[in-house]
Amino acid sequence: MLQTERLRIAIQKSGRLHENSIELLNRCGIKFHFSKNALLLHAENLPIDILLVRDDDIPTLVMDDICDLGIVGENILLEKKLYKLNNGDNPNFTIVNKLDSSRCRLAIAVPEDREFIDVSSLQGLRIATSYPNLLQQFLDEQQINAEILNISGSVEIAPRLGMADAICDLVSTGRTLEENNLTEVYTLIQSQAVLIQTNKKLKDNKEKIKSLLLQRVLGVLKAKESKYIMFHAPKKSLNDLKSLLPGFETPTIMPLEGIQDRVAVHVVSTEGVFWETVEKLKQAGANSILVLPIEKMMN
Ligand code: ATP
Ligand code: ZN
């Protein structure tokens, strides 16, 4: 078993998860020099190493305790988990947090000219996918007999090449499907990026740095959806204004120099703020309304 004093985090080397993973680590205050061909980045200000790998390897690196944490899509994670279970292994990991990024879904799509009434229309078809375990589980649940063609990339061209009658692949906007004359017919799972950790107990010093990092991750996620709002309002409307602000913490109310009947209100919203809320505040008598992003939060 590999032992290191530095906390090791696996993230995708390049691709759809990479940018968001780097951004999250940066926002957690981890300082490192990113160089394009590096496979391991040493943080300069904390005992943390970042391993840059293919996303498919991240669940195994964490489950096998090579890395302590990893950032990966639920799609890959669930497929690897099922693969392990199907092979009698214990998938040894915990999801620490969903990261609300890299959202997509694993869906079945058929050529536009193929009739699809319900999932029973898949009976007897050849379905191409890179997710054979998730697809097999779904087919078993639905009691459908279909042939799974396991291919690792460019799944969407399999029907045009005559290799398959349908596909089961990741979709986000649906543009790739459209370009290949495929229609999405059924969603197996919704997916987003998640932070995972090994279940193994870490040495004290590593456990400490992990707790610090996880607390910062929570702070970053909370700050991302929170806003700081400031406005001026008539004292007599304060109760009405408060009722327009669900999900807001206790407001700070301050006097305005030389003005008796109006006050300044500062409040944090943990749920995001829409234009509609700002418009309603204005209608209820507020003015000078400012909505600011929050960079860090800790309670
Ligand atoms: P790698 O070289 O790391 O194996 P990859 O080609 O398998 O890269 P990407 O295409 O970069 O992977 O996608 C990485 C992850 O991004 C996916 O596993 C999924 O969680 C997420 N994702 C979000 N939207 C999409 C999409 N439209 N197509 C594919 N993946 C998506
Ligand atoms: Zn991959």
pLDDT tens digit at each of 299 positions of the chain: 455 689 999 999 999 999 999 999 999 999 998 787 889 999 999 999 999 999 999 999 999 999 999 999 999 999 999 999 999 999 999 999 999 999 999 999 999 999 999 999 999 999 999 999 999 999 999 999 999 999 998 999 999 999 999 999 999 999 999 999 999 999 999 999 999 999 998 999 999 999 999 999 999 999 988 889 999 999 999 888 888 886 677 889 999 999 999 999 999 988 778 899 899 999 999 999 999 999 888 87
Cβ(182)–Cβ(156) under 8 Å?
Answer: yes
Q: At what angle do helices 204-225 and 18-27 cross, to 10 degrees?
A: 100
Give, using CA atoms, the residue closest to atom 7 of ligand 1: 55
Which residues sit opposite 189 in a β-bridge?
106
Q: b or e along 209-235 (b: 16 or more beta carbons within 10 Å of the residue's beta carbon)?
A: bbeebbebbbbbbebbebbbbbbbbee
Q: What is the DSSP letter of 135?
A: H
The residue whose CA has the least distance to atom 13 of ligand 1 is: 16
Whether the Cβ atoms of residue 166 and residue 159 lie closer than 8 Å to each other: yes
The ligand 1 atom at the shortest distance from the C-alpha of residue 176 is 27
Instruction: Tell me the β-bridge partners of 268.
Output: 228
Measured over the CA atoms of residue 247, residue 249, residue 250 and residue 251, the dihedral's sign is negative
The encoded tokens of residue 42 equal 């040493």
Q: Is the pTM of this model over 0.85?
A: yes
Cα 19–Cα 178–Cα 76 angle in degrees, nearest 5 = 40
Ligand nearest to the CA of 104: 1
